[in-house]
Amino acid sequence: MANGIWIIAEQRGGTLRKISFELVSEGRRLADQSGQPLAVVVIGQGIAEEAKKLASYGAETIYIADAQELANYTPEAYTGVLADLIKEKQPNIVLGGASQQGKELAARLAARLETGLAMDCVGLRLEGDLLIAKRPIYAGKVFAEVVCESARPQMATARPNVFPVLEPDAGRTAEVVTVSVAIKPEDLRTTLVEELADQSGKVDLTEATCIVSGGRGMKGAEHFIILEKMAGVIGASVGASRSAVDAGWRPHSDQVGQTGKVVNPNLYIACGISGAIQHLAGMGSSKVIVAVNKDPDAPIFQKADYGIVGDLFEVVPILEEEFKKIM
């Protein structure tokens, strides 16, 4: 019978990503509730030492798939390794990250295992052995509670920044198991030719804890510098509304909303954004929302915790100065 909770860890360049710690922490909570063992799978090359860090967050078993062909992520090679291992050990639950890599990998893996996958979850709980997954749909206009009763493992991916990371406990130890890896040639058809590093150095919007966003009220690409400056003071990433992106002021990768990125920072500062429904859907789960807008009737104020009615070109530089005083 299927037993155990498994985490698919995510590493890049030999370093575990934050989502891996979030996943192991949430896995630990579910394992404690249900008495099921918690295991984590780490795939890559030369990652054994890094992988062992996950013991102090509560992993009892750490499976390490280490091979030269696995140094760079590709969905097929990683899916093959995971599918073989899961078929052999038959865990009850498999959790991955709802990151760019994690969503793709989980989707292909679920299809290979012919099981159900709850994508991009913001809440996970157990009823006996059954995983109840809560996920936003329509970019958060509605939440769905979904289950997978008829197949195992039950799979889910967890949205980054949602599940809190446990305090590491150095007293915890894990059994480390080296997985024998047999990769089929057809799983190596795709190759990573090049990795172009993002020069901006800013945290991706989906993982940012603080976001400053600009909309139509920014009046032009050249004015985003004032948001960049304020963002620099508080360590925020800069986003944009669809109208700012469609106007060509910001790249598509900056767009927040139903047809852009769905974000959930601790602080979201919306500047010159009126609050179209498709934008509100993408940022409505932010913990604290601040709106700066000239129009006191702008819909954004209905969603904001704090609002300032005023010209953003006056307000933003003042906020920057005020933030500087306390940071």
Partner 1 sequence: MNIISCIKQIPDTETQIKIDSSGKGIQTADIKWVMNPYDEFGVEEALRIKEKKGGKVTVIGVGPQRVVESLRTALAMGADEAIHVDDPAAEGGDALATARVLAAALKAVPFDLIFCGQRAVDDDNAQVGAALAELLQIPLLSVITKVEISEDTSKVKVQRPVEGATWVFETPLPALITAQKGLNEPRYASLPGIMKAKKKPMAVKKLGDLGLSSDQVGEAGSKIKIRVLTPPPERQAGKMVEGETIQDKGAALVKLLREEAKII
Binding residue count for partner 1, defined by CB under 8 A = 98
Distance CA 7, CA 155 (A): 10
- Contact between 191 and partner 1 by CB under 8 A: the answer reads yes
The interface region with partner 1, picked from 42-50, 85-93, 204-212, 221-229 by CB under 8 A, is: 204-212
Considering only residues 10 to 29 of the shown chain, the ones binding partner 1 according to CB under 8 A are 17
The interface region with partner 1, picked from 28-36, 167-175, 219-227, 299-307 by CB under 8 A, is: 299-307
Q: In angstroms, what CA-CA distances link 197 with 15, 192, 194, 216? A: 16, 13, 10, 29
DSSP labels, 293-320: ES-TT-THHHH-SEEEES-HHHHHHHHH
- Nearer CB in complex with partner 1: 40/290: 290
Q: How far is the CB of 171 from partner 1 (least distance, A)?
A: 31
Among 215, 260, 272, 275, binds partner 1 (CB under 8 A): 260
- Contact between 327 and partner 1 by CB under 8 A: the answer reads yes
Q: Give yes or no for a contact between 224 and 238, defined as CB atoms under 8 angstroms apart.
A: yes
Q: How far is the CB of 169 from partner 1 (least distance, A)?
A: 26
The interface region with partner 1, picked from 45-53, 88-96, 137-145, 164-172 by CB under 8 A, is: 137-145
Q: How far is the CB of 201 from partner 1 (least distance, A)?
A: 8
Distance CA 109, CA 124 (A): 20
Residue 168 DSSP class:
P
The interface region with partner 1, picked from 27-35, 40-48, 53-61, 247-255 by CB under 8 A, is: 247-255
Q: What is the dihedral of CA 84, 89, 93, 96, to 10 degrees?
A: -40
Distance CA 138, CA 147 (A): 18
Q: How far is the CB of 240 from partner 1 (least distance, A)?
A: 12
138 C-beta neighbours (distance < 10 Å), count: 12
The structure tokens listed for 123 are: 């809440």
